[in-house]
Amino acid sequence: MDGKLLLVTNVRELTPAELIVRYKSLADIERGFRVLKSEIDIGPVYHRLPKRIRAHAAICFMALILYRVMRTKLHASETPLSPERALAKLRRIQHHRVTLNDSQPVTGLSSISKEQTEILNTLTIKKLTLNTQLTLL
């Protein structure tokens, strides 16, 4: 049986092809949980109330969908970036609010690099803008 996979089931209604599809979808679900734990970094949270359990599950599900959409768009654009590396680069974009003494606060964005702009375009996200661009940051 070297190199072979043997599937055993007690479900008689499914054809062998349907069983294989079900088995492969299980592997996809398990990969999703690994992504949630490692790459998205959602740790264990212990809820007791049903509403909170459902809310936590919904947030995890949305995070996984966003991750997969992001991975698909990055892959389609043939960029070598993974979702994790793209997010790490986008995290460098910062919104600042500076107040000196009693003066009016000045707000602005740090400079957005060409690489960050390309990532935003790949993900079809509108480039962030504010009236003031703080070029020194």
Boundary-marking domain end, from 34, 56, 76:
76
Boundary-marking domain end, from 26, 57, 76:
76
Total domains in the fold of the chain: 2
d(CA 75, CA 4): 30
Boundary-marking domain end, from 76, 97, 114:
76
pLDDT in tens, 61-111: 898 888 889 999 999 999 999 998 999 999 999 888 888 888 888 888 888
pLDDT in tens, 15-72: 989 988 888 888 777 888 888 777 777 777 788 898 988 888 888 889 888 888 999 9
Q: What sign results for the dihedral spanned by CA atoms 63, 69, 73, 75? A: positive
97 in the same domain as 70: no
pLDDT of residue 97: 84
Residue 82 lies in a domain: no
Domain that holds residue 51: 16-76
Residue 51 lies in a domain: yes
Query: How would you class 122 by CB atoms within 10 Å of its CB: exposed for 0-12, middle for 13-18, buried for 19 or more?
Result: middle
- Find the angle CA(61)-CA(70)-CA(126) to the nearest 5 degrees: 115
Q: Is the pLDDT of residue 120 over 90?
A: yes
User: What is the 8-class DSSP label of residue 49?
Assistant: S
Ramachandran region, residue 81 (left: φ > 0; alpha: ψ -120 to 50; beta: rest): beta
Residue 64 lies in a domain: yes
Residue 105 lies in a domain: yes
pLDDT of residue 137: 46
